[in-house]
Structure 1
Amino acid sequence: MSTEELLHVMNSEDHKIAHVVHRALPQIQNVIDRATAILEQRGRIFYFGAGTSGRLGVLDASECPPTFGVDPSLVNGIIAGGDKALRYPIKNAEDSESDRAKDVEARISENDMLIGIASSGKTPYVLGAVKKAEQLGILTAGVSCRENAALSELVDFPIDLNVGKEIIKGSKKIKSWYGTKDEVKYNFYNLMIKLEIVYNNLIINVQASNYKLKERTFSIIQEVTGVEEKTARRYAEETEGDVKVAFLMILLPSDKTHAQHMLHKHNGHFPNVMEWIKEDKR
C-alpha cells in the first residue's frame, strides 16, 4: 500500500470518530453538567488513566491554568506510574488496583469528581480508582472506547465511544486516541464556558504572563469596551492584566477598588456584573 493510500485510509477512519462522539453527546453532556456543579461548589475534577489515556487526562488538566487562568488544583490529571510515565513506559503500572485505590484516598474528597479514562474499558489501574471512589461516596464518570465496558458498569456517568476496530490491530493509539482526545476537549472547553470564564467568545480570565498574552489582554479590552489601544494598555497595566477589572473600570466607569468590589459581590462572575450594569442603565 502506498503512502497516499495509507493516508486516505487513516483519514477516512478519522472521519468516523466525529460521528461516534456525536452519538455520545447526551452522555458527555451529563458528565459536563455534573462536573460544572462540582466545580461551582468548590470541588475538583480528577482524571485517572494509564498510558496514552492517562497522558490525555494530564494534558487536559495541564492546559486549564495557562489557557483559562484557573487555579491549577481545579482540574487534575493522575497517570499510572507518576509523572515519569508521561515520557517513559512504567512496567506493570496499569495493572495495580491497590496503588490507585491508595492514591484516590490520599488525594480526593467526597466533594470532588473522578473521571476514569481507559480506552479498553478494563484497565485495572482505572477500575481500582473508580471502585475506591465509589466506596468513599465520590461521584465518578468513565470514558472508554468499546461497548459494554467494565468501566461503564462501575461509574455513575459512563461515556461509551465505540470507535470500532483500530487500523493497526493491537494498538489503541489511533482511533481510540482520537475519540478520547475529542471527549476530553469537550470537557475542557465546555466546563470553562459554563464557569463563565469565557464571555462573548473571549477568554476573560487570561493571565498576562508573557508578551503574547499581554498583547492579547490589550485586544480583549479593546474589543469589549471599544476603547483605543493606548487606553486599553493603560488600564491593563493599572489592573496588572486583570481584564475583568479593566472592563468594569471603563464601562461603569469606576476606580480599581470599586470594580474589584463589584466582581466580588457577584462571586467573580463577570457576565452577572454585565447583566447588572445593563439593568441599572435601563
Structure 2
Amino acid sequence: MSNPRRDPSRLDVDLVGLASPTEERNPASAELDTLDARGMVDVILGEDATVAAAVQARSAEIAALVETCVAAIADGGTVHYLGAGTSGRLAVLDAVELAPTFDADESMVTAHLAGGPGAFLTAVEGAEDSAAQGAQLVREQCREGDVVIGLAASGRTPFVASALEAARAAGMPTALISANPAAPLAPLADHAILLDVGPEVVTGSTRMKAGTAQKLTLNALSTATMVRLGTTFGNLMIQVRPTNEKLVARTVRMLVQASGAEPEEAARVLEDAGGSVRVALVALLSGTDARASAAALEDFPRDPRRIGDPAGIRSAVAALGG
C-alpha cells in the first residue's frame, strides 16, 4: 500500500470526502466558544460520560480478543500494539504500565508508535501516512504466533493498514480498535472493535472521546488478559516484586487482605518465602510452611486453561488440605 508524502498545502479531495464520525461537527458543542468556563467543562464532561457505554457495547468483541491474546502469550507469542499519534501513545502507555502491575515484559505485550519512540513527546510529520514503515515493522519485529492489534481512531491510518496487511499475509491474528463504526480497515482485522462514540466536542480532536474510548478498551483488554494468565488472586496483584520498602509494605498489606493474617505474621511468612508473594499466600491460606507451599505450587503453575484458578493458588491450597 504505497502512499507518497503529500504536499500539505494542496487540497486532497479524496480525503475530504471520506466519512468519519471523528470529523463530523457535534451539535452539543456547536457554540462552545460562546460559553463560560463552567459551560465548556459541562459540555465536555457531558460528552465524555457517553464513552463508557460505547465501549461496553463492544464487550463481546473485546472478550474474544482477550482469548486470542491469552492463547498467544501462553504459547510464547507477543501481543503487538501499533498506532500513530494519540492512538499510538495510548498503546505505549498501556503496554509499559503492565510491567509494574503484572510483572509483564515486552515479550508478552509491546507497543510500536509511528515515527518511533521520539514521536511519543514530539509529533513526527507524516509518520501516520508511512505505509512502508508499518509493513516493515511487522516483517522485522513480529513472528508466527504473535498478535497484531492496530489502533486508529479514524479507522483508515496507512501505517496501521500496512501493518495489518503484512500481519494477515503472514498468518498472524489481527485486530483493529477504532472510533469509526464504518472503519475502512475493519476487513483486515479478525477482531474489529469499532467504538461508536460519535463526533468530538472539538471537531477532529481524537485525543478526546476517541482517545478515552481507546484507553478504556485497552484497560479492559490488557487487564483481563493478564488476569487470565494468572497474575492475580481475586483482585489482588500477586506478581508484584517487593524490591523496596514501599512495595514490601504493600505486599504485606495484600497478604493480610487475602488471608486475614496479622501483619507481623504476613511479613514473617513473606520473608520465609524469599519474597515470593505466591508462596507466602499459599502458606498463609493453607497453614503450612513456605517449603511445602512452594512444592505445591510447582504442581499448579499459572495456567489460563485452569478456569476459575489460573494462578493455581486455590488448587495448591486445596492440595495441602487448606
TM-score range, shorter chain: over 0.9
**Which structure would you say has the larger RCO, counting Cα contacts within 8 Å and 6 or more residues apart?**
2
Specify the code of the residue in structure 1 equivalent to 2:222: F
CA distance in 2, matches of 1:251, 1:10: 48
User: How far did 1:262 drift?
Assistant: 2.4
Specify the code of the residue in structure 2 equivalent to 1:159: I
Aligned identity (percent) is 32
* 2:165 counterpart (102, 107, 131): 131
Moved more, 18-27 or 179-188: 18-27
CA RMSD, aligned part only?
A: 1.8
Q: Report the 3-state secondary structure (helix = DSSP H, G, I; strand = E; otherwise coil) of the residue aligned with 1:150.
A: coil
In the superposition, the TM-score normalised over structure 2's length comes to 0.82
Specify the code of the residue in structure 1 equivalent to 2:199: K
In the superposition, the TM-score normalised over structure 1's length comes to 0.93
Rg comparison, structure with higher value? 2
- Size of the aligned set, in residue pairs, is 282
CA distance in 2, matches of 1:73, 1:62: 12
CA contact (8 A) 2:296 2:319 kept: no
CA distance in 1, matches of 2:260, 2:311: 17
Specify the code of the residue in structure 2 equivalent to 1:165: P
CA contact (8 A) 1:207 1:213 kept: yes
CA distance in 2, matches of 1:198, 1:276: 15
Moved more, 83-92 or 238-247: 238-247
CA distance in 2, matches of 1:272, 1:237: 21
CA contact (8 A) 2:139 2:166 kept: yes
Residue equivalent to 2:53:
19
User: How far did 1:257 drift?
Assistant: 4.3
User: How far did 1:280 drift?
Assistant: 5.7
Residue equivalent to 1:154:
188
CA distance in 2, matches of 1:121, 1:202: 36
Gaps spanning 5+ residues in structure 1: where? none
- Residues 25 and 69 from structure 1, CA distance in 2 versus in 1: closer, same or farther, beyond 3 angstroms? same
Residue equivalent to 1:217:
251
CA distance in 1, matches of 2:284, 2:203: 59
CA distance in 1, matches of 2:51, 2:313: 40
CA contact (8 A) 2:51 2:213 kept: yes
Residue equivalent to 2:240:
206
CA contact (8 A) 1:49 1:78 kept: yes
Specify the code of the residue in structure 1 equivalent to 2:229: L
Residue equivalent to 1:82:
116
Specify the code of the residue in structure 2 equivalent to 1:105: R
Query: 2:296 matched to 1:262?
Result: yes
* 2:147 counterpart (100, 107, 113): 113
Specify the code of the residue in structure 2 equivalent to 1:118: A
CA distance in 1, matches of 2:106, 2:165: 26
Query: 2:312 matched to 1:272?
Result: yes
